[in-house]
Amino acid sequence: MRKTGYKIGGLILIIISIFLLLGGLYLPSAMFSVWLLWGLDIAGLILLAAGIVMYKVLNG
């Protein structure tokens, strides 16, 4: 993959992770179970880390 591909892939992962983190933090626990909200937070953090790695490290 070229540098531009890694940058675009990293940005897409970062954008998705922001939505997952916001959903996990701000959705009310009365509507969704707590484990689902924790899962959204964990998935958001993992995708954020992967996006940063793709955008910064692999672009190198």
Name the burial class of residue 12, with classes exposed (0-12), middle (13-18) and buried (19+) by CB atoms within 10 angstroms of its CB.
middle
Angle of CA points 54, 17, 47, to nearest 5°: 45
CB 27 within 8 A of CB 3: no
Task: Tell me what the mean pLDDT of segment 21-43 comes to.
Answer: 92
| Whole-angstrom distance, CA of residue 4 vs CA of residue 32 | 38
On average, the pLDDT of the chain sits at 91
* Domain ranges within the chain, ordered by starting residue: 3-57
What local confidence, expressed as pLDDT, does residue 1 receive?
66
pLDDT for 60? 64
State the residue for tokens 């933090």.
25
* Residue whose pair of structure tokens reads 């997952």 in the numeric block: 20
**What pLDDT, on the 0 to 100 scale, is given for residue 36?**
93
